[in-house]
């Protein structure tokens, strides 16, 4: 059974993230959407809140697991028996960073491939940061995130 890790912060999960999960399901038997604990980031939602939203949003998709990991992604991928790690690419700047990470990952764990997927055109501009900014300024984010996420953003940011 081929298994892929789709890691990220997912603060919050967007329709672009979901698009990448759906693309992964066409290529792999099992997808693990893994929230990484990153000390250098200051997320709006706690890890538990993100996991809860992701479980709700992805519950209808068979062969998708939601998990967390700490430490090196290559160690996590190895422990899960993944054949690959997938990352979404939206822009050239994403590629530059991900290319560097892929080369380093290959040095650390050559048996796990790094795969880049491009989201559907309607999601290329989407990022969790932009969604949080729009929501924080009282904008409607319902076209960018599932309804449960839009509701949570509104509640978290004081109902603006």
Q: Which residues are catalytic?
A: 17, 41, 90, 128
| Bridge partners, 67 (sequence order) | 34
Specify whether the CB–CB gap between 126 and 15 falls below 8 A.
Answer: yes
Can you say how many angstroms the Cα of residue 17 is from the centroid of all Cα atoms in its chain? Answer: 5
Specify whether the CB–CB gap between 93 and 15 falls below 8 A.
Answer: no
Task: Specify the pairing of strand 3-8 against strand 64-69.
Answer: unpaired
Specify whether the CB–CB gap between 118 and 124 falls below 8 A.
Answer: yes
């Amino acid at each position: 059974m081929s298994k892929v890790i789709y890691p990220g912060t997912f603060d919050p999960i967007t329709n672009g993230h979901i698009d990448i999960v759906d693309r992964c399901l066409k290529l792999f038997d099992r997808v693990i959407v893994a929230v990484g604990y990153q000390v250098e980031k200051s997320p709006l939602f706690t890890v538990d809140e993100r996991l809860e939203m992701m479980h709700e949003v992805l519950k209808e998709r068979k062969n998708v697991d939601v998990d967390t990991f700490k430490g090196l992604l290559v160690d996590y991928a190895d422990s899960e028996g993944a054949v690959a790690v997938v990352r979404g690419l939206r822009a050239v700047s994403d590629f530059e960073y991900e290319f560097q990470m892929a080369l380093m990952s290959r040095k650390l764990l050559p048996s796990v491939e790094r795969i880049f997927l491009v989201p559907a055109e309607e999601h290329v501009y989407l990022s969790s940061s932009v969604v949080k900014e729009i929501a924080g300024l009282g904008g409607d984010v319902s076209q960018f995130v599932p309804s449960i996420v839009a509701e949570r953003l509104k509640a978290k940011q004081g109902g603006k």
